[in-house]
Structure 1
Amino acid sequence: MNLFADIRALVLDAITTLVTEGVLPDGLNTDAVTTEPPRDPAHGDMATNAAMVLAKPAGKKPRDIAEALAVKLADDPRVASAEVAGPGFLNLRLEPSVWQALPKAILGGGTAYGRSDMGKGEKVNIEYVSANPTGPMHVGHARGAIVGDAMASLLAYAGYDVTREYYINDGGAQVDVLARSVYLRYQEAHDLSVDWPEGSYPGDYLIPVGEALKDKVGDVWLEAPEKVWLPEVREFATAAMMALIRDDLAALGVHMDVFFSEKSLYGTGRIEAAIDALKEMGLIYWGVLPKPKGKAEEDWEEREQWLFKSTDFGDDEDRPVMKADGSWAYFAPDIAYHYDKVQRGFDLLINIFGADHGGYVKRLKAVVKALSQDRVPLDIKLIQLVKLFKNGAPFKMSKRAGTFITLRDLVDEVGADVARFHMLTRKSDATLDFDFDKVVEQSKENPVFYVQYAHARICSVLRKAGAEGIDVSDATLAAQDLSGMTHPAELHLAAKLAEWPRLVEIAARTHEPHRVATYLGELAADLHGLWNRGNDEPALRFLQDDPVATQSKIALARATAVVISAGLGILGVTPVEEMR
């Protein structure tokens, strides 16, 4: 059930009738016609822009179209009034019976309420986290992991076939640095004194890795040259780091479908195949890039190399794919990786990157557009920084990592549920403040607590009613007569529940899971507002003296709990049934 979609269908039917009657011309495009909550709730329950978007193609004044539509819409039993506002907006008020039927429909449909078939099973690949396998993940990775995971759940809820993917950056020089750092810990495990060179990874997290390497090979590599041990230590260290990363992600409730190794692209012909595909399209050429703006002449050397014509697809400049010495440029494995995703048959690609990857957006979009022949869109979301605070002051140090707060530090401090919800309270491209004290504070200023408290309050009411022998099963509540649900606070809460299916589709279409967290905060506020009114108006209390009256009141509360639970499920947060 999607009430906004139902009323939009009613508007479209009215437009069709006006076309049949000759009031409007045939062939009008109604794709831009919407029904949505009015900006000012005092104006009504829903508003439609139909007259505004049809006026120009119909050759009529918006207000004239709105007035004709108002007459048709007012004939529907669900519509209490249809009023024209301003130059041609149309505000609708719905009959109370529409809102009274909503809790019954929610409880009758259960977890299906809000789910959408908008995605029509389209295959979506969401790549997120993709941290270098050189150490534990930090808080910035945590935010990317949470946003990506919630986005995957949101799109699956909206009818997409979603693959969660982690790209292991194990093909670059940083993994050699990791291997050498593990080797130093291996030497320490043999009680040898070592010197840590600049740029190595001295965090304590490598101590057990060095000890594990000692247990595996003994002292056989202590006197061996680097060329002997480096390849095997590299593999050993990468596997150890990926095991650590998997454990950290699991602690956050994140589980990937695919772990894709960058190293698997080298020496397998996969990079060559991707570049050849671009060559066949005439998009690879031997040339020279212009001197970068702001770079001094003496600091720049002109050199020929193989370039991808990314400017043909909206990039600022063409991009190197192979250097003059025949080695691959950094961009080459990225091309091959995205070519692989295109070949796997995905209909949409989404990459979740840190804010420092902003320079890669245009070139990656260009190459995906080229390789898919403009069939597969690529959306790249940049995750801004997380600023940590504790006791009102910036908080930076982690003993385990040495230089930063790890993802595991975060989970150990506040728990996965709190971390996940709070990380989704702001749009991902906005910097987020994370105060370790405030996110566990039990107050309405803390959105995590406020939403969980709403769910717990409802569960408390259900337990009390059940203890009094009242049947509060969903089936029984769905069968209640809710015609007595007439108070504005009750109808307002029902109207907020009606927004859920629409909100899901908007959030899925824009790839913005933070909208779900925002909506849950608003829904919780409406529930708490109704609850508090009951302190002064006994008729609004969920528990009444009459069991049947209690059931009719609780139906609205239970429907609210269903939606809160569904929203928290998308965010990866467990709804609580009682506050401790």
Structure 2
Amino acid sequence: MNLFADMRVAVIAALDEMVAGGTLPAGLDTANVTVEPPRDPLHGDMATNAAMVLAKPAGLKPRDIAEELAAKLSADPRITLAEVAGPGFLNLRLDPAVWADVTRAALAAGNDYGRSDLGHGVKVNVEFVSANPTGPMHVGHTRGAVFGDALASLLDFAGYDVTREYYINDGGAQVNVLARSAFERYREANGLEPEIREGLYPGDYLIPVGEALKAKYGDSLLNQPESVWLDDVREFATAAMMQMIRDDLALLNVTMDVYSSEKALYGTGKIEDALGRLESLGLIYEGVLEPPKGKLPEDWEEREQTLFRSTSFGDDVDRPVKKSDGSWTYFAPDIAYHYDKIERGFDQLIDVFGADHGGYVKRMKAAVAALSNNRVPLDIKLIQLVRLFKNGEPFKMSKRAGTFVTLRDVVEQAGADVTRFHMLTRKNDAALDFDFDKVLEQSKDNPVFYVQYAHARVASVLRKAAEAGIDVSPEALARADLSGNTHEAELALVKKIAEWPRLVEIAARANEPHRVAFFLYEIASDLHALWNRGNEEPGLRFVQDDSDISAAKIALAKACAVVISAGLGILGVKPAEEMR
């Protein structure tokens, strides 16, 4: 049940009647007509902008449209009052029975309440994390992993066919650096002093890799030139790092559907095929780029390169795909990888990048637009930095990683549920502070605790009611007489429950899972407010002497818990049954 969508259907039907009656001209575009919660709850239960949106194309005054629309909507038994406000906004008040139906719908659907067919099975690829396989994941990867996984769950909940994908950057020079770093740990495992020179990876995490190399090769590689061992050590170390990354993701309960390899694009003709596709469209040419704006680099020299005409698709400059020496740029395999995703039949692509990839957005969107003939949209979400604090001070670096705080460090300190929820308490493109003390404190200022506490409170009510002999099954609660749930605090809660399906669709359309976290905090606030009012007004308490009244109150609380549980499920957080 999506009450707002249902009421919009009623509004559109009333507008169609007005067209049929000659009040409105035919052919009006109603796509921007909305039904939403009013800014001020005192104005009603819902508001529609229909008259304001349609006035200009209809050549009529907004208020004239609104008054006739109000008259038509007043015939709907669900609407007790349709009132025109200001220049032509239309506020609606609903019959109390509607809110009872919302409570019953939530109880009947359980954690599926709010699920949507918005996506209609559209195939969406969400590529996220994609950390270089050169070491453990850091805290920035943690935020990207949580965001990508929650976004994938949100889209699935909204009816999309979602694939979670990790792109292994194993085709660049960094994996050769990894191999040389691992070889020094191999030398160390054989009793020699490792030479961790500048440019190599210094973290202790490579010590077990060196020991594993010794177990496989003994000392047979020690006196061999790099040309002999580099390929084998690179493959071995990359596999070890990817296993470490999988293990780290498992700590966050993140599981990928697909792992794709950059290395697999080389020597297979896939890069050539993708660029050949662009060339057939007249988008590949030989040319010379202008020097970068501002201060001219000392090593700048004009040279002819193979370029992609990305400016034809909104980019600032054309982008090189092949260097003057004939080797591919970093951009070339990325083009091929996205072409592969298009060829696999995805209807939409979403990339989750770190904030340092901002300059990559326009060129990548241009490539996907060109390769798909503008059929497949690409949305790129940039994940801003996470600042870690503990005891009021910046959290120090991880010795094991060498230069950064790892995902494992964060999860071991805070736990997976707290980490996941808190990483979604800011929009992805805003910096986020992660204070280990604050995310674990039990207060209203800690959204993780506040939401979990709301769910635990309902769970305690259900346990107490069951002990009192009240049937708290969803079926029994749905049969309760809910007509007495009319206090302003009860109505505030049920109205928030009614907003959940609408919120799911809004968040899914925008690819913004943080909206779910915000909403959960709001509905938890309404539940806590009702609970606190019950301390002052016994008639609002959930468990009372009269079992019928108790069933009605508990039904509302259970419906709230249903929404919290569903929302936490999207965020990948287990709802708390009790707080300790």
**Does the TM-score normalized on the shorter chain lie above 0.5?**
yes
Partner of 2:336: 336
Partner of 2:259: 259
Answering whether residue 151 of structure 2 is matched by residue 151 of structure 1, we say yes
Mapped contact 1:137–1:248 kept (Cα < 8 A):
yes
CA–CA distance in 1 between the matches of 2:578 and 2:121? 37
Partner of 1:532: 532
Partner of 1:35: 35
Give the deviation of 1:29 after TM superposition: 1.1
**SS of the residue 1:402 aligns to:** coil
Mapped contact 2:112–2:566 kept (Cα < 8 A):
no
CA–CA distance in 2 between the matches of 1:136 and 1:109? 41
TM-score (norm 1): 0.99
**SS of the residue 2:482 aligns to:** coil
Partner of 1:468: 468
| Greater displacement, 49-58 / 191-200 | 191-200
Partner of 2:521: 521
Matched AA of 2:274:
A
Q: How does 1:381-530 map to 2 (within 5 A)?
A: 381-530=381-530
CA–CA distance in 2 between the matches of 1:109 and 1:567? 14
Matched AA of 1:306:
T
CA–CA distance in 2 between the matches of 1:102 and 1:278? 52
CA–CA distance in 2 between the matches of 1:374 and 1:343? 14
CA–CA distance in 1 between the matches of 2:101 and 2:314? 50
Matched AA of 1:288:
V
Mapped contact 2:63–2:88 kept (Cα < 8 A):
yes
Q: How does 1:161-560 map to 2 (within 5 A)?
A: 161-296=161-296, 299-560=299-560
Give the deviation of 1:300 after TM superposition: 1.8
Deviations 1:121-155 (A, max 9, x none): 00000000000000000000000000000000000
Give the deviation of 1:87 after TM superposition: 1.1
TM-score (norm 2): 0.99
Deviations 1:344-368 (A, max 9, x none): 0100000000000000000000000
**SS of the residue 1:84 aligns to:** strand
Matched positions, count = 580
CA–CA distance in 2 between the matches of 1:394 and 1:96? 52
Matched AA of 2:187:
Q
Partner of 1:24: 24
CA–CA distance in 2 between the matches of 1:296 and 1:555? 69
CA–CA distance in 1 between the matches of 2:323 and 2:388? 41
Mapped contact 1:158–1:508 kept (Cα < 8 A):
yes
CA–CA distance in 2 between the matches of 1:473 and 1:399? 52
Partner of 1:122: 122
State the identity as a percent: 73
- CA gap of 1:226–1:473, structure 2 versus 1, over 3 A, is same
CA–CA distance in 2 between the matches of 1:111 and 1:408? 30
Mapped contact 2:51–2:88 kept (Cα < 8 A):
yes
CA–CA distance in 1 between the matches of 2:11 and 2:145? 41
CA–CA distance in 1 between the matches of 2:398 and 2:484? 57
CA–CA distance in 2 between the matches of 1:210 and 1:99? 64
CA–CA distance in 2 between the matches of 1:297 and 1:325? 20
Matched AA of 2:465:
A
Matched AA of 2:379:
D
**SS of the residue 1:340 aligns to:** helix
Mapped contact 2:481–2:548 kept (Cα < 8 A):
no
Deviations 1:207-264 (A, max 9, x none): 1110011011101001111100000000000000000000000001100000100000
Mapped contact 1:396–1:403 kept (Cα < 8 A):
no
Deviations 1:423-467 (A, max 9, x none): 001100000000000001001110000000000000000001111
- CA gap of 1:405–1:38, structure 2 versus 1, over 3 A, is same
Mapped contact 2:43–2:91 kept (Cα < 8 A):
yes
Mapped contact 1:126–1:152 kept (Cα < 8 A):
yes
Partner of 2:563: 563
Matched AA of 2:213:
L
Deviations 1:102-134 (A, max 9, x none): 111211222331000000000000000000000
Mapped contact 2:442–2:449 kept (Cα < 8 A):
yes
- CA gap of 1:297–1:410, structure 2 versus 1, over 3 A, is closer
Give the deviation of 1:195 after TM superposition: 2.1
Mapped contact 2:122–2:161 kept (Cα < 8 A):
yes
Q: What stretches of structure 2 of length at least 5 have no aligned partner? A: none
**SS of the residue 2:329 aligns to:** coil
Give the deviation of 1:96 after TM superposition: 1.4
Give the deviation of 1:93 after TM superposition: 1.2
- CA gap of 1:112–1:297, structure 2 versus 1, over 3 A, is closer
**SS of the residue 1:165 aligns to:** strand
Matched AA of 2:197:
P
| Greater displacement, 93-102 / 414-423 | 93-102
Matched AA of 1:494:
V
CA–CA distance in 2 between the matches of 1:342 and 1:276? 15
Q: What stretches of structure 1 of length at least 5 have no aligned partner? A: none
**SS of the residue 1:104 aligns to:** helix
Deviations 1:350-402 (A, max 9, x none): 00000000000000000000000000000000000000110111113112112
Matched AA of 2:277:
A
| Greater displacement, 234-243 / 288-297 | 288-297
| Greater displacement, 492-501 / 100-109 | 100-109
Partner of 2:10: 10
CA–CA distance in 1 between the matches of 2:577 and 2:18? 51
**SS of the residue 1:115 aligns to:** coil
Give the deviation of 1:298 after TM superposition: 5.3
CA–CA distance in 2 between the matches of 1:413 and 1:300? 47
**SS of the residue 1:327 aligns to:** coil
Deviations 1:395-428 (A, max 9, x none): 1311211221100001100100000000001100
| Greater displacement, 324-333 / 351-360 | 324-333
**SS of the residue 1:483 aligns to:** helix
Mapped contact 2:274–2:336 kept (Cα < 8 A):
yes
Mapped contact 2:103–2:555 kept (Cα < 8 A):
yes
**SS of the residue 2:573 aligns to:** coil
Mapped contact 2:84–2:90 kept (Cα < 8 A):
yes
CA–CA distance in 2 between the matches of 1:490 and 1:60? 40
CA–CA distance in 2 between the matches of 1:514 and 1:254? 17
Mapped contact 1:96–1:491 kept (Cα < 8 A):
no
Deviations 1:153-202 (A, max 9, x none): 00000000000000000000000000000000000011101221111111
The runs of 4+ residues in structure 1 deviating greater than 6 Å are none
Deviations 1:282-316 (A, max 9, x none): 11001111111113275420100111000000000
Matched AA of 1:24:
L
Mapped contact 1:125–1:350 kept (Cα < 8 A):
yes
CA–CA distance in 2 between the matches of 1:426 and 1:298? 41
Give the deviation of 1:329 after TM superposition: 1.3
